[in-house]
């Protein structure tokens, strides 16, 4: 969708291996990022969410983006904004095992847009989550164009 994206690591590494063995390279260390220039912050899922929720700087960023910019969170990562109170009065989704009654309305759907916060349930909802982020960051038309280009809908 033409959205510039920077993959960030919370430490000084430039690569990592995901829970399913996927190796990711080209990460930018968090200390080298200027988050004031970012339009959105996206929190990933998987077991690495536990590392993120123990990092005060990451929690401060999540709170700031959740209140002032666009915040996206998927799978287990969606539990972090909930624990920070960002879902109060909102609808959200999170991997069902981690729904902790966060003061909003949990929906067991692939993705939810609630104002400036976009949540995804898990990897099974990743495409809908991505399209919802595009709707919020660019436009519904841009999301529709990408959905058509990737044959997301066969209609």
Can you list the domains of the chain with their CATH numbers?
8-149 (3.40.50.880)
For residue 79, which phi and psi values (nearest 5 degrees)?
Answer: -75, -25
Q: What token pair was written down for 74? A: 């998927």
Q: Looking at per-residue confidence, does 66 or 101 come out higher? A: 66
pLDDT of residue 132: 98
Predicted TM-score (pTM) of this structure: 0.94
pLDDT exceeds 70 at position 155: no
d(CA 69, CA 137): 10
Distances in Å between the alpha carbon of 112 and those of 8, 28, 30, 93? Answer: 24, 28, 27, 6
Per residue in 27-73, pLDDT (tens digit) is 999 999 999 999 999 999 988 899 999 999 999 999 999 999 999 99
Per residue in 102-132, pLDDT (tens digit) is 999 999 999 999 999 999 999 999 999 999 9
pLDDT band at 101 (very low <50, low <70, confident <90, very high): confident
């Amino acid at each position: 969708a033409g959205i510039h994206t920077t993959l960030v690591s919370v430490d000084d590494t430039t690569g990592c291996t995901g829970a399913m063995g996927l190796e990711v390279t080209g990460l930018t260390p968090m200390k080298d990022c200027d988050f004031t220039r970012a339009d959105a912050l996206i929190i990933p899922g998987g077991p690495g969410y536990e590392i993120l929720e123990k990092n005060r700087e990451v929690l401060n960023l999540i709170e700031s983006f959740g209140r002032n910019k666009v915040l996206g969170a998927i799978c287990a990562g969606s539990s972090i904004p909930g624990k920070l109170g960002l879902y109060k009065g909102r609808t959200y989704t999170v991997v069902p095992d981690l729904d902790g009654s966060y003061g909003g309305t949990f929906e067991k759907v692939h993705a939810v847009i609630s104002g400036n916060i976009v949540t995804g349930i898990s990897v099974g909802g990743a495409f809908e989550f991505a399209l919802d982020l595009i709707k919020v960051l660019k436009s519904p038309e841009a999301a529709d164009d990408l959905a058509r280009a990737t044959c997301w809908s066969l209609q």
